[in-house]
Chain A
Amino acid sequence: MRTLKFLLQKEFRQIFRDPAIVRMILMMPVIQLILLPLAANYEVKNIKLAIVDHDHSSYTQQMINKITASGYFQLTGVSNSYNEEMKLVEKDEADIILEIPAQFERTIVKENEAPLFMAVNAINGTRANLGSAYLQNIIRNYNQDIRTEWIQMPRFNDQPRIDITYSDWYNPHMNYQLFMVPGILAVLLTMVGAFMTSLNIVKEKEVGTIEQINVTPIRKHHFILGKLIPFWILGLVVLTLGFGVARIVYGIIPLGSFVTIYAFAMVYLLALLGLGLLVSTYANTQQQAMLISFFLMMIFILLGGLYTSIDSMPEWAKWITKFNPIAYFIEVIRMVVIKGSTLKDISKQLLIMFGFAIVLNGWAIFNYKKRM
C-alpha cells in the first residue's frame, strides 16, 4: 500500500506538471460537448419542396397552402416543368418534388380518384422516409377535408374505423439534444480515458524509465494501479464537468439518479482504462499507440449506436456490439438520463461491464511483463 502511495504521488505530479495536458483533458470535452450537439441535430425539418403544378386549380392552391402551413416544408420552387425542378434536386436545393397532374381537380370530382406523383432524393434515407411520410400525412388530411366538403353526412360511418392515437413518452417535445448530449458525453469520456492511459504508459517505454521501474521491487499490479487510479479519477471529473455543461447549456437534468450513473461509470472507466492498458502493452511508440487507439475507437464508436440504431444492424454487427463496451455505456447513460432507469433496470449491463473490466485488466496485467 505504501508503494502505491508513492506511485500515485508521482503520477499526479507528472500529470499536473504539464498544464497544457490538463487543459486539454478538461477543456476539450467541454468545448466539444457544447459544439457537437448543436451539429448533431437529426431532426427532419425545413424539407425543401419543389412543386410542379400542371393543374393550377383552387384545389392545388389549397393543398399547397396546407403543406406550407405545416411548418415542415420550405417551398423552393413552383413551376410547370418537372425537368426544371429536377435541376434543383441535382443542386441539393430540393429534397422532394411533388407533381400535380393536369386536370387534377376535375379528375377527383368526376372520377372519384386522382393521382399525385412524388419524387424523393433518397441518398439520405432518414430524410427521404420522414419527409415523404410527412407529405403523405398532409395530403391524407387534405383528402379528408375534400370528402367532408362533398359528403354532408355520416353516410360512411357504417364502415368500421380504427382511430390511431399516439403519444411520445420521455421526450414529448422531440428534443434531439436530449438524445444526443448523453451519448456524446459517453463518447468524449471514452476518448479521454482510452487515449490518455495508453499514451502515458507507452511514453515511459519510449523514454526508458519503465526499465528502471522494472528493476525495482514494485509489484506489477501496484504499478498498473498507480497508472489507472489517476485517470480513473480524471475520467469521473470529466463526467461531472460534462453533466455541468449538459445542465447549463442544454438544460438537461437526468431523470434517473446520479448514483446509478456514477456507479456504472466507475465500472465502465475501469474496463476502458484496462483497454488503454492493453493497447500500451502492444505498442512501442506513442505514434503506434495513438493509431491503434484511434482505429479501435473508430470501430467501437461507429458501432456503438450513437448515430444509428443497433436494432437495425445486421446480425453479425449486432454480435460485435455485444463485445463493445462503448455501446453499453451509451445505452445505459441514455436510459438513466432520459427514462430514469434505476440500478435494477441496468443490472444486466452493469454485470457485463464488470466482466469486461476483469477480462481486459486481467489480460493487460498478464501481458505486461517485467522481464523479457
Chain B
Amino acid sequence: MTDEKVITAKALTKKFADFIAVNAISFEVSKGEIFGFLGANGAGKTTAMRMLCGLSLPTSGEATVAGFDVYKESEKIKKNIGYMSQKFSLYEDLTVKENMRFYGGIYGLTEKRIKEKSQQVLADLHMEAEQNKLVKSLPLGWKQKLAFSVAIFHEPAIVFLDEPTGGVDPVTRREFWEMIYQAAQNGTTVFVTTHYMDEAEYCNRVSIMVDGRIEALDTPTNLKKQFNTASMDEVFLQLARKAVRQAD
C-alpha cells in the first residue's frame, strides 16, 4: 500500500427525481488498498459504485478514478478498471475459455497474452478440466470465482466488486477472499461492497453508509474502538438503527 490516491470523491451526489440516493459522500482510496463499502440494502452503495465505474452520471460533486474525471473521462476510466456486478456477468452460453477470450479481447490484450493468461487463470482456479464447458453448467461458487478472475483478467489498476459473495457457501467465500488478497498484493486496488460483517474485518479500511451518507470511515480496529464494541456487527447495528429510509 502506498500513499498514491487512486480514487477520490468529494461531495459526490446522485439524485433520482426527489430521492437522494447518494448524499455528498467524500473519501479517498489508496493504491493497493482493500476498501470495504458497507451499508444496509438501499443505503446507496451500489449507486455510488456505479457512478465511479462510469455506469451512472453523478448529479453533483467531484470524483476521479485512476486519475481520470468521472464526468469527462469515463471511457478512460473503463480501460483501467475491472467490475463484477451482483447480477451474474459472464455469458452462460459461452464456455469458460470463450468468456476469457472475449473479455481479454475487448480490453485489447494480444492473442499471445490471452493464451498465457488463460492458462495461468485456469491453473490457479484448478479448472483446466472445465475450460471447454459451458459456464451455465458450473456450480455457483465456481462461477463467482471465475467471474472475479475475468474481472481482473486485463490486470486493471482498480477492481470494483458489488456484493461478490452473495449466496455462496462459507468455504467458497473464504477462497474468494484469498483471491482478493492475492490481487491486492499484486498492486490492484479492491473496492468491495458487502453486507457480510465478517468480510468487513478482512478490509484495510471500511466505510459505512446509512441513508446515502457515509457515517463512519476507518480501519475495522479503529471503528470497534470508537464504538466500543467487540465486533463489526455491533458497529454496524449501532449505525444502522439511525436509518430512517426503508430498505428496498
Interface contact B55-A371, CB-CB below 8 Å: yes
Interface residues of B in 23-57 (CB under 8 A from A): 50, 53-57
B75 at the interface (CB under 8 A from A): yes
Contact A3 B85 (CB under 8 A): no
At the interface, yes or no: B101 with Cβ under 8 Å from chain A? yes
- Judge if B140 is at the interface, Cβ distance under 8 Å: no
CB distance from B201 to the nearest CB of A (A): 28
Is B89's CB under 8 angstroms from A216's CB?
Answer: no
With A and B bound together, what is the CA distance between A152 and B105 in angstroms? Answer: 94
| A215 and B78 contacting across the interface, CB-CB below 8 Å | yes
- Of A2, A14, A18, A212, most buried by chain B (CB within 10 Å of CB) is A212
- The smallest C-beta distance from A216 to any residue of chain B, in angstroms, reads 5
With A207-B92, A208-B87, A371-B74 as known contacts, state yes or no: A6 contacts B54, CB within 8 Å: no
Q: Is the CB of A371 within 8 A of B56?
A: yes
A211 within 8 A of B: yes
Residue of B nearest to A17 (CB): B93
B94 CB-CB contact with A under 8 Å: yes
| Any B CB within 8 A of the CB of A7 | yes
Q: Which chain B residues border A218 with CB–CB below 8 Å?
A: 106
Residue of B88, B102, B134 near A10 (CB, 8 A) is: B102
Q: Are A372 and B55 in contact (CB under 8 A)?
A: yes
Residue of A nearest to B154 (CB): A216
* A-contact bits for B79-120, CB 8 A (1 contact / 0 none): 101010101111111100010011101111000000000000
Chain B residues with CB under 8 Å of A5's CB are 105
Q: Is the CB of B105 within 8 A of A216?
A: no
- Contact residue among B79, B101, B105 (Cβ-Cβ distance under 8 Å from A2): B105
Contact present for B94 and A211 (CB under 8 Å): no
Among residues 186 to 243 in chain A, which have CB atoms less than 8 Å away from a CB atom of chain B?
Answer: 207-209, 211-212, 214-219
With A6-B105, A217-B107 as contacts: A371 and B57 at CB distance below 8 Å? yes
Q: Which of B53, B56, B93, B106 contacts A7 (CB under 8 A)?
A: B106
Closest B residue, CB atoms, query A372: B56
Question: In the assembly, what is the distance between CA of A371 and CA of B103, in Å?
Answer: 19
Decide if A13 is an interface residue (CB 8 Å cutoff): yes
A257 at the interface (CB under 8 A from B): no
| Inter-chain contact A212/B83, CB cutoff 8 Å | yes
Whether A209 lies near B74 (C-beta < 8 A) is: no
Chain B residues closer than 8 Å to A215, beta-carbon distance? 53-55, 78, 81, 83, 160
Rounded to whole angstroms, the CA-CA distance of A207 and B87 in the bound complex is 8
Interface range for B: 20 to 34
Nearest-CB distance from A134 to chain B (Å)? 58
Complex Cα distance, B93 from A18, in Å, reads 8
Assess whether B91 is in contact with A9, with CB atoms less than 8 Å apart: no
What residues of chain A lie closer than 8 Å to B105, measured between beta carbons? 2-3, 5-6, 9
The answer on a CB contact under 8 Å between A14 and B81 is no
Q: Which residues of A contact B134 (CB under 8 A)?
A: 17
Q: A18 CB to closest chain B CB, in angstroms? A: 7
Least CB distance from A202 to B in Å reads 15
User: Given known contacts A14-B94, A17-B93, A216-B78, is B55 in contact with A6 (CB within 8 Å)?
Assistant: no
Contacts known (A3-B105, A9-B102); A214 close to B94, Cβ less than 8 A: no
Report if A214-B55 is in contact (Cβ < 8 Å); known contacts: A14-B94, A208-B87, A208-B88: yes
- Tell me how far the C-beta of A188 lies from the nearest C-beta in chain B, rounded to whole angstroms: 26
Nearest CB of A to B78, in Å = 4
B residues 187-222 touching A (CB-CB < 8 Å)? none
Candidates B53, B79, B93; contact of A14 at CB < 8 Å? B93
**Which B residues touch A87, using CB under 8 A?**
none
- List chain A residues, Cβ under 8 A from B56: 371-372
* Distance between Cα atoms of A59 and B72 in the complex (Å): 93
B102 and A371 contacting across the interface, CB-CB below 8 Å: no
Interface membership of A45, Cβ < 8 A = no
Q: Which of B61-75 contact A (CB under 8 A)?
A: 74-75
**Shortest distance from the beta carbon of A17 to any chain B beta carbon, whole Å:** 5
Besides A7-B102, A219-B75, A371-B56, 15 other A-B contacts (C-beta < 8 A)? A2-B105, A3-B106, A3-B108, A6-B105, A14-B91, A17-B94, A17-B134, A207-B88, A212-B89, A217-B106, A370-B74, A371-B50, A371-B55, A372-B50, A372-B57
- 26 example contacts (A-B, Cβ-Cβ < 8 A) are as follows A2-B108, A3-B106, A6-B102, A10-B98, A10-B102, A13-B98, A14-B91, A14-B93, A14-B94, A17-B93, A17-B134, A207-B88, A208-B88, A211-B87, A212-B90, A214-B54, A215-B54, A215-B81, A215-B83, A216-B107, A217-B75, A217-B79, A217-B106, A371-B57, A372-B55, A372-B56
